[in-house]
Amino acid sequence: MSAVKRQMHLGVFVLGTGNHSAGWRYDGAATSNNQLPVIQEIARIAERGKFDLLFVSDGLVMNPGDHPSFLCRFEPTTLISALSAVTTRIGLGATVSASYSEPYNVARIFASIDHISNGRAAWNVVTSAQNAAALNFSRAEHWEHEYRYEVANEFVDVVKGLWSCWDDGAIVADKTTGRFIDAAKVRPLDHKGRFFQVKGPINMARSPQGHPVIIQAGGSPSGLELAARTADVVFTVVQELESAKAAYADLKGRLGKYGRTPDQVAILPGMMPIIGDTGAEAKAKLARLQSFLTPENALTLVSSRIGYDVSGHPLDGPVPAPPLGQGTRTFSRVLYETARRENMTLRELYNLTAAARGHWVLCGTAKHIADTLEEWFVEGAADGFNVLPPYFPGAFDDFVDLVVPELQRRGLFRRDYEGTTLRDHFGLPRVSD
**Phi, psi at residue 115, to the nearest 5°?**
-65, -50
Q: Where are the domains of the chain?
A: 9-277+359-425
pLDDT in tens, 154-183: 999 999 999 999 999 999 999 999 999 999
Q: Is 145:328 a contact under the CB 8 Å cutoff?
A: yes
Angular region, 358: left φ>0, alpha ψ -120 to 50, beta rest: left
Please say whether the structural domain 9-277+359-425 has been given the CATH code 1.10.3720.10.
Answer: no
CB atoms within 10 A of CB 108: 17
Pairing type for strands 91-97 and 179-181 reads: unpaired
Cα 196 to the center of its chain, rounded Å: 26
The answer on pLDDT for 389 being more than 70 is yes
**Cα–Cα distance list, 115 to 43, 112, 266 (Å):** 19, 5, 23
Least confident span in 40-54, 174-188, 351-365: 351-365
Local structure of 210: helix, strand or coil: strand
Q: Is 15:387 a contact under the CB 8 Å cutoff?
A: no
d(CA 214, CA 198): 20
d(CA 269, CA 69): 21
* Residue 304: per-residue pLDDT: 66
Q: Whose CA is closest to 145, among 318, 333, 399, 414?
A: 333
Question: Quick one: 397 exposed, middle or buried, by C-beta within 10 A (0-12, 13-18, 19+)?
Answer: middle
Amino acid at 102: E
Cα 388 to the center of its chain, rounded Å: 10
Residue ranges in 235-359 assigned as alpha helix (H):
241-254, 279-291, 298-306, 330-341, 346-356
pLDDT in tens, 229-280: 999 999 999 888 999 999 999 999 999 999 999 999 999 999 999 999 999 9
Helix, strand and coil content of the chain, in percent to the nearest 5, comes to 45, 15, 40
Q: What is the pTM of this model?
A: 0.90
Mean pLDDT to the nearest integer, 187-209: 98
